[in-house]
Copies of this chain bind each other. A is one copy, B any other.
């Protein structure tokens, strides 16, 4: 057990999820149990709030408020997409020192792990004693070291439910339906659309992931083939699909980037409309629609995956325990235990092992044709998304023709 005593600061960073506040509340509730932690402060809007010293006193929040916040989607402290510069890092230490912050927690994805890593490195460099933990979160499910990440299961659940409904809608009013799903470099969330399938003819019938080069010609011919067979075609496509040269198809339509150099792919319907227009102009199929699931995937309230909510809480708790125990730095990784029944264990891992670089869908999750997922992916994702709404279908015995 580390002897280090002082205040704790926690921040949230990157895109929100519906369970990121479970991690926040898990960390706060655990922190209250440790005498080494005195003040429990929250930074408003991540790195931005640290630089502006916009801190709130989380010991002043009631138990009831904390539990209500835990159930509430989107970063309760506010978020930011900000990578600190060298000059800002110097200022961060001046601030952390002044506030006697000895326990620092940053909830986020790989960019946030990178920010935490920069802070931990700088703390070591200037000889400032501080525990610095990254708490994993991302609907993209693209953090290295992790079997999966908090936030993914609930987003996968939303995408699966949306795809169940959309497949039924397409059965009722057939045509081609294209659904654009979040995921910059990793196709895990788009792949989750496949969880919607119950009957052999259920959509999505085609799934395009960033892990495979996207060919417009192949796409058109895939859609024509499915439509000829079923009279309809539901497509799930990642916002991050890129051509054989690695150029994002959607990037042709935007120039906006954040300070991590990421192009804006979400918050626009341009990719879906582009793909729909290609089908309209290059095939004889008349009814073509595109939806972009958008921010609902990471913020829709009231239906988190139970497993995801539980694990998001647990990584927050565990990060605080590890910080107090070791006084060092790291991230908490989720590992799946082998065996038929789903269970996980949480493990501390070095910060640099999850920072910056992302993880992609493994080959065994992607159909050899590059336009679908495999049974192995479905087995992987099912327990994460949790039980889905039951769907009924008429047997549909034809009435004998009347002369």
Chief secondary structure at chain A's binding surface: loop
Looking at the assembled complex, report how far the CB atom of A308 sits from the nearest CB atom of chain B, in whole angstroms: 15
Also in contact, A302 and B299, with CB within 8 A (given A172-B79, A273-B268, A395-B65): no
Looking at the assembled complex, report how far the CB atom of A216 sits from the nearest CB atom of chain B, in whole angstroms: 19
- A70 within 8 A of partner (CB): yes
For residue A293, which residues in chain B have a CB less than 8 angstroms away from its CB? Answer: 294, 296
Q: Is the CB of B292 within 8 A of A392?
A: no
- A5 within 8 A of partner (CB): no
In the complex, residue of chain B having the shortest beta-carbon distance to the beta carbon of A266: B289
- A269 within 8 A of partner (CB): yes
Among B54, B388, B394, which residue has its beta carbon within 8 angstroms of that of A76? B394
Cα(A84)–Cα(B38), bound, Å = 75
Cα(A291)–Cα(B162), bound, Å = 15
Interface string of A270-294 (1 = CB under 8 A from B): 1011001000000000101111111
Looking at the assembled complex, report how far the CB atom of A359 sits from the nearest CB atom of chain B, in whole angstroms: 23
List which A37-63 residues lie within 8 A (CB) of chain B. Answer: 39, 41-42, 44-45, 53-58, 60-62
- A177 within 8 A of partner (CB): yes
- A303 within 8 A of partner (CB): yes
Most buried by B among A12, A98, A394: A394
Interface string of A7-18 (1 = CB under 8 A from B): 000001001101
- A228 within 8 A of partner (CB): no
Looking at the assembled complex, report how far the CB atom of A204 sits from the nearest CB atom of chain B, in whole angstroms: 13
For residue A168, which residues in chain B have a CB less than 8 angstroms away from its CB? Answer: 16, 72-74, 299, 301
Among B65, B169, B177, B302, which residue has its beta carbon within 8 angstroms of that of A392? B65
Most buried by B among A81, A162, A269, A298: A269
For residue A41, which residues in chain B have a CB less than 8 angstroms away from its CB? Answer: 399
15 contacts between A and B (CB under 8 A): A56-B399, A58-B394, A68-B392, A68-B393, A71-B389, A72-B168, A74-B169, A79-B172, A98-B402, A161-B301, A267-B289, A269-B290, A269-B292, A291-B295, A301-B391
Known: A161-B301, A169-B298, A267-B291. 20 other contacts (CB 8 A): A55-B398, A55-B399, A57-B398, A60-B397, A66-B392, A69-B393, A71-B389, A71-B390, A72-B391, A73-B165, A74-B165, A74-B168, A79-B172, A98-B402, A162-B296, A177-B267, A266-B289, A269-B292, A289-B295, A291-B296
Chain A contact residues, CB within 8 Å of chain B? 12, 15-16, 18, 21, 39, 41-42, 44-45, 53-58, 60-62, 65-81, 98-100, 161-162, 164-166, 168-169, 171-173, 177, 256, 266-270, 272-273, 276, 286, 288-296, 298-303, 388-399, 401-403
